[in-house]
Structure 1
């Protein structure tokens, strides 16, 4: 049986949930842990989700900050029921077990309307002024893509031009910076495993604690170039068109979509390699080929020409088309 964290009984007593049955849930790629609570004493069967994000590895403060902002702007994040940020405890509304990903896998005919609703959620989010969050600026973009050379290239035994890598990204990304002011709230991990389908028929948002102010294309990329499930080119095209028709983001939007797609996918290849090599989580290796394929499509756009040249010079084609075994 999985040991429960120290302090859980004290927090649940203070929150009025001391009679609840505690069910540990599978973890994600972080130090956070989740538990489903189910009341036993009153016969209601009421449930709630308990998040443990213990310092110093985690800090629930950003999650609470973003959750309160979303709630104040009629966005469907989970309600906060109780909290003790200093000890890393947050008790939140339970959205249930139905994630967008599994729901579509079990009922493929629902894919189009569910993605359409997810697009409409982004349109609604982007109609609000950006939240009081940090900017997604050039140093942040570059720090993220550095994960590719730091982890993937090192793991693959590649001696690459790191300075040229940064310079290529700076050249490619510079044009979009002016178009992300004043910007929109970017949730950063908006994809099919972080969109819940509660029983009330809404779509609930989770895992948004890293929100920043940035470009409206970023969360669209996160959703439609999903590292965890295949999204067909036809669906991707239809959903981009749906967003553009509703939001009218401007003529350079698709170039920026490609720029941010390449940036995000390069970062994810690095992160998934790190999860395997440093954190002992090899299951992420199986996702790298999907991310590579999306990255290759993005690099075909003329806006990524400097980055594409770097990849052609520094990363052998055989490695780019591999199944990730070269870093296992």
Structure 2
């Protein structure tokens, strides 16, 4: 049977004797897809995750656990893990990304920060949330080596490979010393929903949550790969978030150290994203993310500029990577920043 026929048959089982309409939505970077299920007086969201490509079990397990602690995640109405079907509460259509502008962003980001703090306060169950291991963090950074650099026809010398190894080791040393909490891992404006008649944001796409550094989700949203804000705004938000942390996360950790921690976490994440976006195109044929590469590279360059311990990595990016990167993917024009400044002043 075609996948759509299987879905229709399953829905007739879980919604017996009810007329419903299925509207498939645009896909994302995974093999999952979603459809809105409309009944006469109710709406649901269907997650279709082919079991040979995706595993729904972590989503179900994490959703149940987070919900039990009051996190605003979709309620699971029905499930069939064998076929890879989930029927979920419908959070609506208002992605946070579509609601952000200079007059709303502070309010929404404070809500987003409060949600992160709540997630970080939840007791960790090691059976549900794996550790964000040094091996995993390193493998993610090496996506930069394995996908971005070959796409630019850059072959590393022994000295350059050694430099990258040393840089990654320094980054890992910082990350392992940050407080370890529940980390969403993809906490940005396209995975947060503005819910009708609710004062909290809905959280989606949390199935890859782990236990890792407490700056990860913060920098995922303030340095969003899909939208950019003025550096001074980001600096203000990082300071605000520090103020929201529990005292246990500040012991022996000044605001200045927290700022450094945020920079280092940003570098790790953006090395990974640069590799992922190239891989999505080269391996999976998804070209939509290429337009975001210049923004992510802009972030990385700014972050490296704030970490003198990574001066060799910064030099490599500026002198060896950027000429080929700009030729292939373009630049992130400073005009964009100037436009933001004009918007702020209006």
> Which residue matches 1:22?
22
- Structure 1 residue 325 displacement after superposition: 5.4
Q: How many residue pairs were aligned?
A: 316
- Structure 1 residue 274 displacement after superposition: 0.7
Query: CA 1:316 to 1:147, structure 2 compared with 1: closer, same or farther past 3 Å?
Result: closer
Residue by residue over 1:258-317, the C-alpha shift from the partner in whole angstroms, topping out at 9 and shown as x without a partner, is 111001001000000011111111111110011001111111223652662563587343
* Contact 2:49–2:56 (CA under 8 A) maintained in structure 1: yes
- Structure 1 residue 135 displacement after superposition: 0.6
Map 1:66-85 → 2, pairs under 5 A: 66-85=62-81
Q: Establish whether residue 259 from structure 1 lines up as the match of residue 270 from structure 2.
A: no
> Which residue matches 1:97?
93
Residue by residue over 1:242-273, the C-alpha shift from the partner in whole angstroms, topping out at 9 and shown as x without a partner, is 11011053223222211110010010000000
> Which residue matches 2:233?
235
Q: Secondary structure at the match of 2:72?
A: coil
> Which residue matches 2:287?
282
* Contact 1:32–1:52 (CA under 8 A) maintained in structure 2: yes
Query: CA 1:70 to 1:322, structure 2 compared with 1: closer, same or farther past 3 Å?
Result: farther
1:193 to 170, 186, 190: 190
> Which residue matches 1:203?
201
> Which residue matches 1:179?
178
Map 1:130-209 → 2, pairs under 5 A: 130-132=124-126, 133-160=129-156, 161-180=160-179, 183-201=180-198, 202-209=200-207
Q: Establish whether residue 61 from structure 1 lines up as the match of residue 60 from structure 2.
A: no
- Structure 1 residue 320 displacement after superposition: 4.9
> Which residue matches 1:11?
10
- TM-score, normalisation: structure 2: 0.86
Q: Higher mean Cα deviation, 31-40 or 121-130?
A: 121-130
- In 1: Cα distance, 2:146 partner to 2:58 partner: 27
- In 2: Cα distance, 1:307 partner to 1:199 partner: 49
- Structure 1 residue 131 displacement after superposition: 4.0
- Structure 1 residue 198 displacement after superposition: 1.2
1:215 to 209, 213, 218: 213
* Contact 1:165–1:310 (CA under 8 A) maintained in structure 2: no
> Which residue matches 1:123?
117
- In 2: Cα distance, 1:147 partner to 1:318 partner: 20
- Structure 1 residue 6 displacement after superposition: 4.0
- In 2: Cα distance, 1:315 partner to 1:216 partner: 32
Q: Secondary structure at the match of 1:204?
A: strand
- In 2: Cα distance, 1:322 partner to 1:294 partner: 18
Unpaired runs of 5+ in structure 2?
332-346
Unpaired runs of 5+ in structure 1?
none
Query: CA 1:254 to 1:305, structure 2 compared with 1: closer, same or farther past 3 Å?
Result: same
Query: CA 1:263 to 1:313, structure 2 compared with 1: closer, same or farther past 3 Å?
Result: same
* Contact 1:259–1:303 (CA under 8 A) maintained in structure 2: no
- TM-score, normalisation: structure 1: 0.90
